[in-house]
Amino acid sequence: MEVLGDAEVLAERAADLIGDALREKPNLSVLVATGHTPMATYAELALRGLDASRLTAVQLDEYLGVGEDDPRSLWGWMRRSFVEPLGVKQVVRLGDAPDPDEACRRYESEVAALSGIDLAVLGLGPNGHLGFNEPLCGPGARTRVVTLTPASLASNAAYWGDLPVPSRALTAGMDVILSARRIILLVSGSHKRDILARALREPPTPEVPASWLQGANTTVLADRAAWGGAQ
Ligand code: F6R
């Protein structure tokens, strides 16, 4: 657990850790969250001139029924914020098969073919979700189709202006996330205080999916605003 002064310092620290991991292992496989929190980290990483040509970026989640040209496509967001700015050439996508169950199976086998995930870069949902692993969710939950909770519909509405938030999504399973060899959880802002405190303090529970991170190799990077109530 590291507490950083503000979102900018947090992004610099996260970029340091990701950059170090990439220098150590040029063919790093990285599970890549979208959402607001990691955007400053990705922008900072892109400024550092790292060679990410052998990195494989693995998608964390996607809305169901949203094509890649739709402005709400999470693949599109990941491409614009991470894949293109860093010059990433290999990606594992979630949701690029017409049948969602087939897309999940394909994803799981592509992740297995990579020998798993080296590094997961995650944000914390306002209800404790990781990816779209919504409460209630156990640590063994597989990659699957989920229905978004009202809390996630509300937080995701902030991303898309007037466009409605799709009600269903595909998510990497908790099993994929928790088997990552290293996890960096980025948490910024006072609106995350209570849920961060629960994720860190409560015994792991399906009510707060992020609490399962307690049993994984997790580094939590929180800014002071997010950490305030967690002390
Ligand atoms: C995004 C994702 C979500 C977000 C979480 C936090 O791909 O999987 O779990 O990481 O909802 O979102 P922000 O960072 O916007 O607060």
pLDDT tens column, 182-216: 999 999 999 999 999 999 999 999 999 999 999 99
Does the structure show a pLDDT above 70 at 138? yes
Q: Is 8 designated active site?
A: no
Q: What's the Cα-to-Cα distance from 1 to each of 8, 9, 27, 207, rounded to whole Å?
A: 17, 15, 26, 22
| Residue 127 near residue 149 (C-beta atoms within 8 A) | yes
CA 146 to chain centre: 16
d(CA 100, CA 95): 6
- For 138, the 3-state DSSP assignment is coil
Q: Quick: pLDDT tens for 19-76.
A: 999 999 999 999 999 999 999 999 999 999 999 999 999 999 999 999 999 999 999 9
Helix (H, G, I), strand (E, B) or coil at 100: helix
pLDDT at residue 98, as a whole number: 85
Q: Is residue 68 annotated as a catalytic residue, yes or no?
A: no
Among 62, 108, 118, 127, the one annotated catalytic:
127
In 3D space, the residue among 29, 47, 35 whose CA is nearest the CA of residue 181 turns out to be 29
- Confidence check: pLDDT of 229 > 80: no
* Domains, the chain, ordered by start: 2-230 (3.40.50.1360)
* Cβ neighbourhood burial of 105 (10 Å; 0-12, 13-18, 19+): middle
pLDDT beyond 90 at 231: no
Q: DSSP class of residue 82?
A: I
Question: Chain-wide mean pLDDT for the chain?
Answer: 96
Active-site residue flag, 27: no
Out of 31, 60, 165, give the residue to mutate to test ligand 1, the one with the largest number of ligand atoms within 8 Å of its CB: 60
